[in-house]
Amino acid sequence: MAALIVIAVVVVFVLVVAARSIRVIPQARAGVVERLGRYSRTLEPGLTIVTPFIDRVRPLVDLREQVVNFAPQSVITEDNVVVGIETVLYFTITDPRSASYEIANPLQAIEQLTVTTLRNVIGGLTLEATLTARENVNTELRTVLDEATGKWGIRINRVEIKSVDPPPDIRSAMEKQMRAERDRRAAILTAEGEKQAQILTAEGAKQAAVLNAEGAQQAAVLSAEGERQSAILRAEGEAKAIDTVFKAIHEGKPNRELLSYEYLKMLPELAEGEANKVFVVPSEFAEAFGGIGEALKRRATEPHLPPPPPGS
């Protein structure tokens, strides 16, 4: 019975020693080993063996990027405006030994350092610069914090200003200013649009007037060309008619009496023209009348002759 108790105690002791000797470090974690109270080594991810009752493994250190959201802090700007600024910090532990022994509470230290640096940076900026130059503020904060936390084994990756809250009266004044600015821009855009519309309308009217003038000019040119062609054709027709009449007269071999008679018939037609105010009577006019008189006497003495044809 005593032997069984001894065996059981030995088995339990072996199990306890094995449990305290074999450690498994997860990925993205690190373990700091202290031997008899002093730093010994840093355990990497994986299976490792430590000396039981002599080595002690401190709580594992998370090597992943961590995010800390700090509460809003009241900061006074250069133009004496109190604003509440909320920041978000992204950091990574790069040296587990320094993070374990150089600083007691890393998060609290980072928060206090962030608040102090934020007040120094914002204190040199106006409210407008604080609202519009957040990227510059973020860069300056990250530079200062990363330099200060480097000895703690912590790297500051990013510092982001989450919100900037001015006092209610300042916020109301800013909203009124923004509304006035929007109204001003809307008025400018409306005026610009009306100006462009008037320019386009005037340009369209100008183009229409030019096209109308060109159309009228083309119409006048075509009309004058038509009249000219008509006059040419009419003159050619009259010339052909005269030529035809002339040929017919010469082919018919008329006597002097017939020519005199035809000449008298043409006088009324010549008198119808507006430009014909003066008549030129040829020297043969008396001879023509004499020929007509002789012809009439012959017709009177020779009644057996047939009457002259109509229109002769």
* pTM, to two decimals: 0.54
**Pair of tokens at residue 102:** 């150089």
Domain ranges for the chain, please list them. 2-62, 66-166, 187-253, 254-312
**Pair of tokens at residue 302:** 């020779």
Report the relative pairing of strands 29-35 and 61-62 from DSSP bridges.
antiparallel
Which pLDDT tens digit goes with each residue over 60-79? 999 999 999 988 888 888 88
Coil, strand or helix at 126? coil
Residues 133, 78 contacting (CB under 8 angstroms): no
Segment 27-44 shows an average pLDDT of 91
Coil, strand or helix at 102? coil
Spatial distance between the Cα atoms of 204 and 170, rounded to a whole number of angstroms: 50
Extract the runs of DSSP E, i.e. beta strands, from 121-275: 154-165
CATH 3.30.479.30 fits 66-166, yes or no: yes
Confidence at residue 64, expressed as pLDDT on a 0 to 100 scale: 93
Segment 275-288 shows an average pLDDT of 53
Which pLDDT tens digit goes with each residue over 224-278? 888 888 888 888 877 776 677 667 666 665 656 565 666 666 666 655 555 555 5
Residues 32, 57 contacting (CB under 8 angstroms): yes
Which range scores top for mean pLDDT: 7-16, 97-106, 125-134?
97-106
Q: Got the DSSP string for 231-293?
A: HHHHHHHHHHHHHHHHHHHHHH---HHHHHHHHHHHHHHHHHSTT--S----TTHHHHHHHHH
Segment 283-306 shows an average pLDDT of 54
Confidence at residue 305, expressed as pLDDT on a 0 to 100 scale: 47
Confidence at residue 267, expressed as pLDDT on a 0 to 100 scale: 60
